[in-house]
Structure 1
Amino acid sequence: MKHTQSRGEWIGSRGAFLVERHIADAMAAPHWHDHVELNLLMEGRMTYLFNGRQEQVEAGRLVLFWAAIPHQTIAVAENAPLVCLYVPLVDFLSLPVDRKARQSIMQGRFLAQGNQETMDALTLPRWEKEWQFGSAARRKLVVEEARLRIRRLILDNAEIDNSPTHVSPTSLAGHAVRHVELLIDLINSRYADPISVADLAKLAGMHPSTANSAFRKILGISVNEYLTRHRIARAMQLLTDTDDPVLQIGFDCGFGSSSRFYEIFKERTGTTPRHFREAVNSKTTPAQ
């Protein structure tokens, strides 16, 4: 399944909340981007390969996952319409949800609605139409409604003890979250530079160990791992949406040499940048 959007708009852009609807199909290779993704399959079934596991998705059941973890649809029923919401990571981190539940998602949990919710089958297609054709006020309402739906999905799946858990938005927006937000902003703007974790931490006004500690606490990965995933995701976008030379894309995405670019790209995707581009083009070029 290839997540499509208008040319020039990439879902990996931190500031972009996006809703789209398309017919799901099998993906040529895994991909990832720095959003939390909410999916609703309208009809049929499909299977994700996510974080090394096969996850079955049934029609009518919401699923949620952190899309910076490589994911790929490997089996899809014919003519299966899918509605996808892409929530910027920092927006997700600001939600007042259970901390353990949030961490489990950041560390690779594939969250699924236990039962079909009739309203979801009506609401998500409406969100998609209002996002594509609605006014600014309606788009804002879509974002607010989506945030609430995500909170309910997480609450429905959380392991709740005998006493109610009251989550304070203020407590969640603590030092660690603020550190992560600042570092993500820096990575988004400086990923093309030959920059190290120490450099990023200095720009953020913190010690490198503090930066890594915050990332591991909130996201379950190091700053360098996030930087690598971000660079790979940017490279995949450029390989898909431009005709720029492969080596130029590697340098533009912060890889210091062509060998380093090829090595990391193949390690993370299972294919070379050139073969990735060829596979994408073969799936998007209309048959003659």
Structure 2
Amino acid sequence: MARQSPAFQDEHAGWADLFDGSSFHVESHVAGAMATAHWHDHVELNLLLEGRMTYLFQGRQETVEARRLALFWAAIPHRAIEVAPGSRLICLYIPFQDFMALPIAGSIRKAVMHGAFLKAAQIQTTDAGTFQRWVDEWPGADPARRRLLLDEACLRVRRLALDPLEASDSARREGGECRDGRSPSLDHAERMIEIINLRFGEELSIATIAAALGIHQTTATSAFRRVLGMSINEYIVRFRLSRALHLLADTDQPILDVAYACGFGSASRFYDVFKLRTGVTPRQFRSQLSAR
């Protein structure tokens, strides 16, 4: 489950059922100073259309100006403390497992996990129109369209990762400090994620992952939940589903092949998980895409 402060739950109560760590979401609002910090299990890609705002993020003040893209892991408590009147913000909430699956430099993924608040060094004039289109399309989008919007957002993250970035000095350092210091839990979680991301198509268990790290299963499970806010098995399911969605959308592989390639083990297991998490079957999802 995503971790949310009461203030965050109240502000977003209208779509709270959709907003969990496995769901992508797009929203736009006039930003304001927040009474308390909030946190949730996503990577945020934010674009301030007008104005200026300052976050309190991991003990640092991070100021964002209009039209400059910002990226950070929202599982780290964050709070808007100063906001210019009329500052309109567009937020894209990218599931953590989708971000971790992106083919970007490992140093970028590691920096984000360790608390980097990344900002584009240069303003891209096309971002405002693209982000507004995502906002406009989101409310009426079916699952296939929403997946397409997520794919477009992920492509923007990939481009951001290739462009010059700004980050505070502490966040730039390799192995920079995380929200509770350079803790063993973060090290363990980071290594477990690397194993899952590489071996998701295999039969994976907590015992297998813990053994690969040379740690006890209890240590592995507690460290992962402390850092990610979810169980190891939940992350595995989310990551496998993310990869399956990509294969269904981008290839003509038979559905059964997709199920096995992504580690689901059987067609029935794949269909059950897919329908539960997306609301449609794999065949329906692919049909919706081909109809467009």
TM-score (norm 1): 0.58
Counterpart amino acid of residue 72 in structure 2 = F
Relative to structure 1, the CA distance from residue 24 to residue 176 in structure 2 (aligned partners, 3 Å threshold; closer, same or farther) is closer
Q: Is the 8 A contact 2:58 2:76 kept in 1?
A: yes
Structure 1 residue 76: Cα displacement: 0.5
Relative to structure 1, the CA distance from residue 82 to residue 67 in structure 2 (aligned partners, 3 Å threshold; closer, same or farther) is same
Residues 90-146 of structure 1 show CA distances to partners (whole Å, capped at 9, x for unaligned) of: 110000000011101110111101122111010001001111123444323211111
Relative to structure 1, the CA distance from residue 206 to residue 46 in structure 2 (aligned partners, 3 Å threshold; closer, same or farther) is same
Structure 2 residue 156 is the aligned partner of structure 1 residue 149: yes
Identity %: 45
Relative to structure 1, the CA distance from residue 212 to residue 39 in structure 2 (aligned partners, 3 Å threshold; closer, same or farther) is farther
Relative to structure 1, the CA distance from residue 179 to residue 21 in structure 2 (aligned partners, 3 Å threshold; closer, same or farther) is same
Match in the other structure for 1:9: 17
Structure 2 residue 209 is the aligned partner of structure 1 residue 206: yes
Relative to structure 1, the CA distance from residue 77 to residue 208 in structure 2 (aligned partners, 3 Å threshold; closer, same or farther) is farther
Aligned length: 191
SS in 1 for 2:14: coil
Unaligned runs of 5+ in 1: 160-173, 184-200, 214-220, 232-288
Match in the other structure for 1:61: 68
* In structure 2, C-alpha distance between the alignment counterparts of 1:202 and 1:61, rounded to whole Å: 41
Structure 2 residue 196 is the aligned partner of structure 1 residue 179: yes
Counterpart amino acid of residue 127 in structure 1 = W
Please tell me the root mean square deviation across aligned C-alpha atoms, in Å: 3.3
Given the alignment, which residue of 81, 92, 98 partners 1:85?
A: 92
SS in 1 for 2:103: coil
* In structure 2, C-alpha distance between the alignment counterparts of 1:211 and 1:60, rounded to whole Å: 46
Given the alignment, which residue of 105, 113, 123 partners 1:106?
A: 113
Relative to structure 1, the CA distance from residue 177 to residue 135 in structure 2 (aligned partners, 3 Å threshold; closer, same or farther) is same
* In structure 2, C-alpha distance between the alignment counterparts of 1:4 and 1:108, rounded to whole Å: 24
Relative to structure 1, the CA distance from residue 29 to residue 230 in structure 2 (aligned partners, 3 Å threshold; closer, same or farther) is farther
* In structure 1, C-alpha distance between the alignment counterparts of 2:35 and 2:199, rounded to whole Å: 34
* In structure 2, C-alpha distance between the alignment counterparts of 1:14 and 1:125, rounded to whole Å: 23
* In structure 1, C-alpha distance between the alignment counterparts of 2:108 and 2:215, rounded to whole Å: 21
Structure 1 residue 14: Cα displacement: 2.4
* In structure 2, C-alpha distance between the alignment counterparts of 1:65 and 1:59, rounded to whole Å: 17
* In structure 2, C-alpha distance between the alignment counterparts of 1:97 and 1:177, rounded to whole Å: 13
Q: Displaced runs of 4+ in structure 1, greater than 4 A?
A: 180-183, 201-204
Q: Is the 8 A contact 1:46 1:75 kept in 2?
A: yes
* In structure 1, C-alpha distance between the alignment counterparts of 2:153 and 2:63, rounded to whole Å: 23
Q: Is the 8 A contact 2:101 2:197 kept in 1?
A: no
Q: Is the 8 A contact 1:179 1:211 kept in 2?
A: no
Counterpart amino acid of residue 150 in structure 2 = V
Counterpart amino acid of residue 227 in structure 2 = Y
Structure 1 residue 87: Cα displacement: 0.5
Structure 1 residue 4: Cα displacement: 2.5
TM-score (norm 2): 0.57
SS in 1 for 2:39: coil
Structure 1 residue 21: Cα displacement: 0.6
Unaligned runs of 5+ in 2: 1-6, 167-190, 217-221, 232-292
Residues 236-270 of structure 1 show CA distances to partners (whole Å, capped at 9, x for unaligned) of: xxxxxxxxxxxxxxxxxxxxxxxxxxxxxxxxxxx
* In structure 1, C-alpha distance between the alignment counterparts of 2:214 and 2:12, rounded to whole Å: 34
* In structure 2, C-alpha distance between the alignment counterparts of 1:83 and 1:147, rounded to whole Å: 15
Structure 1 residue 154: Cα displacement: 1.2
Relative to structure 1, the CA distance from residue 59 to residue 204 in structure 2 (aligned partners, 3 Å threshold; closer, same or farther) is farther
